[in-house]
Chain A
Amino acid sequence: MLAPNVLVVDTDVRHWLNLLGLMAGEQTPQPSLLLCLLDGDRCLKALHSKKGVLWGFVWPGDDRLDEALAAAEADALLALPRHALPTIFAEAQAAVTANDNYVKQLFDLVAAVVHTLDEMAFWYPAKPFTLNLPPYEKVEKIFNKIWPDDTTMGFFVFENSRPFTSLLLGKEGGQISLITTLDALGQADQSLDFRHGYQTYADWIAEKFNPLYMALFIELSCFRELRTGGKPLSYLKLAEKRQRALLWPKPWKVRWLLWLARVFKGM
């Protein structure tokens, strides 16, 4: 799904930094975790995810964990035997195949970590998350169904009618092979407002790369509202009506319905 020699070029600094900022979104407070490395029932090291190292932490025994958590001001506890980290590393590395693509490698790596962690870790009160990765093959199948090869996908956010950030992805041979921004188009005037310039953008992209398969043009404020609100599809529909967003190509409804149909079929 990701080409090992993916071309990442012509990234406008401002676009890239703005994109990272948008993707990061707002930080939500995380529960605090107390990690204890144990040798038998002796605690060798205690690390608090927010407070750092807890010096001289003594393993309280299984029946006094609530007390210990309260004293350490932690929401959950993860206890690992001292040989757990090397085992997790070894299993994860052994699970990865060098010839696979990066996404498949990450799927295998994460699955191995989760599996080994489940075997070796002691959580209290209970494991605070569950990670059910779908089978990689299914994900890859959907990816290829919803996005044809030799086309590009675009994501363009505008502020005051000018591009705030842009991301253009190309796909070839079943893999993302291009990551770039509007900077790659080399056009002197990239400040066309999307409401009347979307077709020009699409033409420029087709001229330089593969044709645009699908793109979202959206105002920055609208994107932020979209992220925080519920029902994104109906919000998007409304936004398009008010000319704050545009899904390309038109009529977008048909393309989106096709998308969704393929997704469900793939599942």
Chain B
Amino acid sequence: MSVSLDRWRLNVNGHRLPIVSGDIHYWRHPANLWPTLLERVRELGLRMICIYVPWSVHETNPGNFDFGDLEPNKNLGGFIDLAEEMGLGVLVRPGPHINAELTGFGYPARLFEDPAFLMRNASGGPVMMPIPPHTFPAISYASEAFWREVELWLDAVAPIVRERIAPHGPVLALQTDNESSFFFRTAPFDVDYHPDARSKWLGFLKDKYGDADRVTDAYALDTHLADLAMPDDFRARTPEDLPYYLDWIEFKEAMLAGSLARLRMMWEERGVRNLPFFHNFPPGTHQSPLSYTRVEQAVDFCGLDAYMHKNEYALLKRRLLFLTGQSRFPVCPEFGSGCYHAWPAVDLDDQIFTTKVAWMHGVKGINFYMIVERERWYGSPITRHGGVRKNYWNFYRQHLDVLHKIKPWQLERKVEICLLSVRDYERLENASYALNPIPPLVMEGKYQLEELCFEDPLGFSRPIQLLHAKMLRGWETALTRLGISYVIGASDLPLDRLSQYRTVVCPTFEFLNRETQKRLAAYIEAGGNLICGPEVPSADERMREFSTLDNFTSRPTHRLDCAIDTLVCNAGAGRLILVAEVPLPVADAEAVVKSIARHLHIDPVYPATPPCESSLHLGPNAEKYLFIVNPTGEPQRPEVQVSTGECLVDLESGETFYGREVVPLAMNPYTVRILEVELC
């Protein structure tokens, strides 16, 4: 491979390059200004840029494209070559979906006129995107007619990109599509009911079950599979009703990831290969139908876009911990550096705070979107004329200096625990979402999504769709209060990824995917500590009798001394700890977590007095970098526990903080300190 992934960097002939880059939209600037703009990017301290390549801008008529022959600002090859001359690597994002705050998200307008290309809602009608300054219909990635059009676009772009892949050119990685999420329409029964989606759904079911008869058996149908209607509402009453709905949500996961795999294959067929392919999820907490695990089977790594405000710390942290727990290479392919006019405004204080929070929680690469301002964007450090916005410029200059000192892409965040979000229960949560078709992504800031589910226990002892996420939140709150670091992964993480953590927490109820059960058992056998409950699963995802974990729970070793019945079951080198009730409210969860942490000898590391939080990152030469956040709107004076003789040096202000075992700090509202732990 010309460019390969090397842990959390890109490797070009042994040169390992971190992803710290900035977005610039070449076609939105006159070509004669490109050298000035790129020079400014270099002066700021970046050595990598990221570009969208918009289909709608380059297409002159179907199958014909302008790459600079007619208009100089569309000279894609010329722009990439100029970047190379100026010593800048390039991440390329040619869509076909790009958004880029373009009207129609970068698809040629002609596609919106042919229903063959368009998504359908559950009643067969159009799916419209009311995004200013123009409402347009959403494109269907199930549509085979659409894919034939995509071929024309890729045929045109591939030759330009192909010959510029490093080391022959500056192109370092390619993003397939953008923010795949059915155009943010992730409600369970909203989209996509395109006729081609139906045949793909039936094909998915046949593949999953082996043949059509097994599907009809599993669904207890007395009709042929071909007559089966696509689910358009959640009408399950019993566990046996569930596979039909859970399979639908899983199909949507597969369809999203399948589109990305198809795009990658199409690029490779056109000679764009030997470089990493990546994808970016839209801002949100990524549960079903979005799946890092599936997407990372299609591309080399998947990141998360983030445009957040300082007062959304808890939500940002959760999203970032999902990212760092699940992604192979946790990057933010779009991280707010400025704002689109139609969004809630993001200001410089938001940018400063959230950028540092991202590194604090283990992000390993950031593309600042946008580093050069342009139409429909404000608040970037470089103006579209090549000037600078002083305060913004100063922050990014200083911040990049600090990054080059600590090199977050080389640091290991010290993490004790992985909380597992269980795919089966996420699917159930999505399927039983009561506000369908309002996009859950829209509701996430206002509500905890699980609270928006129907409340029926569906024949189980408890409403799993409500309690699964609530239990995870209880654990998150308790661990945060105790100062114990964690990430959030998905239950379909491969075993080698799970095994990186000493302890895994996985809420379990009456049913659990067969493969997940086997993987958790293997994790215990390999020496891991699995904390699960309140139920030991006795059935698989098709509600067939199946259990691996009951082998462990049938031989409990002892009970922990805590308010909730907690069994410890040793098994080989590992152990299973069953918390036999739902540890809610949070105070109960905290007591249980404390007791289990004591039992497993999990101690907080450099804890800071709440509400401040800390996160320790270890360097390759045993350097210790400590991030302390004040996530509140009030000044705080936290104390940080250190070992005797240690002091803390603020890498931005240069201040040194001393103390015997406890170092007092002063923290302004919504600030993060990046500290080096030194011996004094």
Q: Which residues of A contact B (CB under 8 A)?
A: 2-13, 16-17, 20, 37, 44-45, 47, 52-53, 55-56, 82-83, 85-86, 89-90, 92-94, 96, 98, 101-102, 105-106, 109, 179, 186
Contact = CB atoms under 8 A, between A and B. Distances in A.
A94 B378 contact: no
B125 A8 contact: no
Contacts of A53: 447, 451-452
B233 interface: yes
Given A37-B434, A86-B189, A11 B341 contact: yes
Given A2-B133, A13-B347, A85-B435, A93 B126 contact: yes
B208 interface: no
Interface string B443-478: 000010001101100000000000000000000000
B347 A9 contact: no
Contacts of B232: 86
B103 A4 contact: yes
Contacts, number: 107
Contacts of B383: 10
A96 B375 contact: no
B387 to A, nearest CB: 9
Contact of A45 (B374, B376, B454): B454
B131 to A, nearest CB: 9
Interface stretch (B59-67, B134-142, B483-491): B134-142
B287 interface: no
Interface in B476-525: none
Contacts of A20: 345
Interface string B372-398: 001110110001110001001000000
B447 A4 contact: no
A196 B437 CA distance: 55
Contacts of A89: 121, 190, 437-438
Given A13-B389, A44-B434, A56 B103 contact: no
Contacts of A179: 341
A93 B121 contact: yes
Nearest to A57: B455
Interface in B334-350: 341, 345, 347-348
Contacts of B125: 90, 93-94
Contact of B135 (A44, A85, A86, A98): A98
A53 B434 CA distance: 11
Contacts of B133: 2-6, 102
Give the interface size class of chain B.
35 or more
B33 to A, nearest CB: 13
A168 to B, nearest CB: 14
Nearest to A87: B123
A83 B345 contact: no
A80 to B, nearest CB: 10
B128 A93 contact: yes
Given A2-B133, A4-B134, A86-B436, A52 B345 contact: no
A184 B476 CA distance: 47
A6 B341 CA distance: 12
B127 interface: yes
B455 A8 contact: no
B341 A16 contact: yes
B122 interface: yes
State the 8 A-B residue pairs at the shortest beta-carbon distance, nearest first. Answer: A11-B378, A4-B134, A45-B434, A93-B128, A105-B135, A53-B451, A9-B375, A13-B379
Nearest to B113: A98
Interface string B137-180: 10000000000000000000000000000000000000000000
B436 A102 contact: no
Contact of B126 (A8, A44, A45, A94): A94
A55 B466 CA distance: 11
Contacts of A5: 103, 133
Interface in B415-454: 434-438, 447, 451-452, 454
A186 B435 CA distance: 48
B572 interface: no
A52 B341 contact: no
Nearest to B138: A93
A98 B118 CA distance: 12
Contacts of B122: 86, 90
A32 to B, nearest CB: 15
15 contacts: A3-B133, A11-B341, A12-B378, A16-B345, A17-B345, A20-B345, A45-B455, A47-B452, A55-B455, A85-B435, A86-B233, A92-B128, A98-B128, A105-B130, A106-B130
A8 B130 contact: no
A21 B437 CA distance: 32
B447 A85 contact: no
Given A13-B378, A55-B455, 13 more contacts: A9-B375, A11-B378, A16-B378, A37-B434, A47-B452, A52-B447, A53-B447, A89-B437, A89-B438, A90-B125, A94-B126, A98-B128, A106-B130
B30 interface: no
Contacts of A86: 121-123, 189-190, 232-233, 436-437
A37 B434 CA distance: 8
B128 A96 contact: yes
A3 B375 CA distance: 14
A187 to B, nearest CB: 13
